[in-house]
């Protein structure tokens, strides 16, 4: 019987794991501003969310490239993978949502005017999903590189714009005014696009049906993200003004009423 080979322990310097993951760098980034131990939980979870925002943006840009190459099956695989990332991101709300108002208040002053809506990566998430808003560039003006990158993204097609363009290239009747719309503006529902999706679901073309379902999964998880954010905020701070000066719960309630990829929801009534 062969003896199991022992793992290599001495690398004469940093480990390959450290070189690849940069774990020591990640663990050096948590700097508490208060003496309350609960702040560490909030800080680490917020940083995890930021990493997931970046990962989602990476995945959706990959899906855009695949859609532009008319490789719908590859795009669907990428979208499904990103849906799993969104599920993990949403789970991160649970520890924050379980904080009582007193617990959250114990370190809330350390945030100052800091707020999640100031996140440049989250703004990328919204822009890629078609939630465009020129006014939301304002918080990033003091960081020119970030502001310029977001402004460029504002003026580029969203993920859904690329989906509709791919459907058009497959011969589906996506209206010309939708294809040539001002992509810097928020996407608005279109009755003709709704009919296209209804036909896709009625006729059951496998590739297009899977694309529709992958997008619907994303839309559902993103709606859950917004709603879980609302619930976590309502539970931890009630209807107080948000740390960034927003209307807090009222602002979040308004955001939860918007749906991404809207025709994928309404078309189901006509199938």
The residue ranges of every structural domain in the chain are: 38-101+159-237+244-270
pLDDT at 268 over 80: yes
What is the rounded average pLDDT of the residues 77-81? Answer: 98
Number of neighbouring beta carbons within 10 Å of residue 133 = 14
Annotated binding residues for heme, as ranges?
A: 229
Annotated binding residues for substrate, as ranges?
A: 108, 243
Crossing angle of helices 206-237 and 101-108, rounded to 10°: 80
Contact in structure between 124 and 53 (CB atoms under 8 Å): yes
What is the rounded average pLDDT of the residues 173-180? Answer: 97
Annotated binding residues, as ranges?
A: 108, 229, 243
% of the chain at pLDDT higher than 90 = 66
3-class DSSP assignment, residue 104: helix
What pLDDT was estimated at residue 248?
66
pLDDT band at residue 2 under the 50/70/90 scheme: low
- pLDDT, mean over the chain: 90
Higher model confidence: residue 52 or residue 252?
52
What pLDDT was estimated at residue 76?
98
Closest CA to 154 of 178, 177, 179, 128: 128
pLDDT band at residue 106 under the 50/70/90 scheme: confident
Which tens digit of pLDDT belongs to each residue from 187-229?
Answer: 999 999 999 999 999 987 899 999 999 999 999 999 999 998 8
Half-sphere exposure of 264 (CA within 13 A, CB side): 19
What pLDDT was estimated at residue 177?
96
pLDDT at 35 over 90: no
pLDDT at 246 over 60: no
The single residue listed with the structure tokens 């649970």 is 94
Cα separation, 220 vs 200, in Å, equals: 19
What pLDDT was estimated at residue 3?
67
Higher model confidence: residue 8 or residue 63?
63
In CATH, the number for domain 38-101+159-237+244-270 is 1.20.58.480
Which tens digit of pLDDT belongs to each residue from 178-194?
Answer: 999 999 999 999 999 99
Q: How long a stretch of residues is the chain?
A: 271
Using CA atoms, how far residue 182 sits from 127, 161, 187, 226, in Å, is 13, 11, 9, 26
What pLDDT was estimated at residue 242?
53
Identify the DSSP state of 143.
S
Contact in structure between 80 and 62 (CB atoms under 8 Å): no
pLDDT band at residue 5 under the 50/70/90 scheme: confident
pLDDT at 114 over 70: no
pLDDT at 265 over 90: yes
Higher model confidence: residue 35 or residue 170?
170
Write out the E strands in 25-81: none
């Amino acid at each position: 019987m062969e003896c199991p080979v022992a793992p290599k322990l001495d690398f004469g310097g940093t480990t390959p794991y450290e070189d690849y993951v940069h774990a020591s760098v990640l663990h050096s980034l948590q700097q508490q501003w208060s003496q309350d131990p609960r702040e560490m939980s909030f800080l680490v979870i917020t940083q995890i969310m930021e990493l997931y925002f970046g990962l989602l943006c990476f995945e959706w840009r990959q899906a855009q490239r695949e859609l532009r190459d008319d490789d719908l099956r590859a795009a669907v695989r990428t979208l499904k993978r990103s849906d799993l990332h969104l599920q993990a991101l949403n789970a991160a709300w649970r520890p924050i949502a379980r904080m009582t108002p007193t617990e959250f208040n114990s370190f809330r002053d350390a945030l100052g005017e800091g707020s999640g809506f100031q996140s440049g990566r989250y703004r990328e998430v919204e822009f890629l999903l078609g939630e465009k808003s020129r006014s939301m560039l304002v918080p990033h003006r003091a960081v020119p590189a970030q502001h310029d990158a977001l402004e460029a993204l504002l003026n580029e097609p969203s993920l859904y714009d690329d989906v509709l363009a791919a459907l058009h290239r497959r011969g589906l009747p996506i209206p010309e005014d939708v294809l040539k719309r001002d992509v810097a503006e928020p996407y608005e529902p279109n009755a003709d696009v709704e009919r296209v999706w209804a036909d896709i679901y009625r006729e059951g073309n496998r590739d297009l049906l899977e694309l529709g379902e992958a997008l619907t999964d994303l839309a559902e998880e993103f709606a859950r993200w917004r709603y879980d954010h609302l619930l976590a905020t309502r539970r931890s701070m009630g209807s107080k003004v948000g740390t960034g000066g927003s209307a807090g719960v009222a602002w979040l309630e308004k955001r939860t009423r918007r749906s991404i990829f809207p025709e994928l929801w309404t078309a189901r009534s006509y199938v």
